Amino acid sequence: MKNKKAQGHVEMIISFLIFIGAVSFIFVFLNPISQPKEKTLVMNNLEKKIMSNITSELGELFIVTDANDGCYGFDPLSYLNKNYFELHKPNTREYTIYFSEIFKSKYTTKYIPGTGCDPTKYTVGSYSEEEIISYDKVIELKTQYSGYNTLKKSFGISDDFSFSFRYLNGTQISEMSVSKGIPSGIVRKSEDIPIRVMNSSANIQELILNIMVW
């Protein structure tokens, strides 16, 4: 009788341990609460990696001429020894000189003396710096995505991911986007980031960057 009781006691303990193990497995590996938290951490890390790969520094310098003939003798290289691009606001005396690695060379500015033009009559305005998304760097990252496993390793993540760009009206920009099949039933996290993108012609667009991780 004692042996039967002891055996039953052991079986209860073993059953209890199996139950505890099963519950632990569910909470550790299948817990629907912990997975979103883990995905959030992965997303935060991935966002930093992607943004650091597509962001460039952009300097802006403003010049105003005293006349409407667009004549000034300011040399941007005397201010910053960086590649630059000049934009003129139509029908104004205002010029913006952008300094950035985004530009391939040092473009000629509007120092074009004309009849009666005095290149000394201009005012150099404020200079500011910001970070902006480089179109060329986005295209480069898209190319790197073709070597998917290598890119994941360089980012230091094991989860799968994709990214896409779209206009504010929701239309996706295929030339800047990548895609990857997502298995059904898998937990995924998606995040939209408002950004400004500049190309090598100094054209700026306001877009939405979407990052998805699963």
In three-state form (DSSP H/G/I as H, E/B as E, the rest C), the secondary structure along the chain is CHHHHHHHHHHHHHHHHHHHHHHHHHHHHCCCCHHHHHHHHHHHHHHHHHHHHHEEEEEEEEEEECCCCCCCCCCHHHCCCCCEEEEECCCCCEEEEEECCCCCCECCCCCCCCCCCCCCCEEEEEEEEEEEEEHHHHHHHHHHHCCHHHHHHHHCCCCCEEEEEECCCCCECHHHCCCCCCCCCCCCEEEEEEEEEECCCCCEEEEEEEEEEC
- pTM equals 0.76
Residue 64 phi, psi (nearest 5): -125, 125
CA dihedral 10, 11, 17, 19 (to 10 degrees): -160
* Percent of the residues in the chain that have a pLDDT greater than 90, as a whole number: 53
Indicate the pLDDT class of residue 200, thresholds 50, 70 and 90: very high
Q: What is the mean pLDDT of residues 70-84?
A: 79
Place of tokens 């500011």: 128
Please list, in sequence order, all residues whose beta carbon lies within 8 angstroms of the beta carbon of residue 171, skipping any fewer than 6 positions away: none
Contact 188, 46 (CB under 8 A): no
Among candidates 186, 189, 185, 142, which has minimal Cα distance to 165? Answer: 142
pLDDT, mean over the chain: 83
Residues 20-46: pLDDT tens digits? 555 454 444 444 444 567 788 999 999
Residue with structure tokens 């190309």? 199
pLDDT tens across 130-186, in order?
A: 999 999 999 999 999 999 999 999 999 999 999 999 999 999 999 999 999 999 988
Terminal Cα distance for the chain, rounded: 56
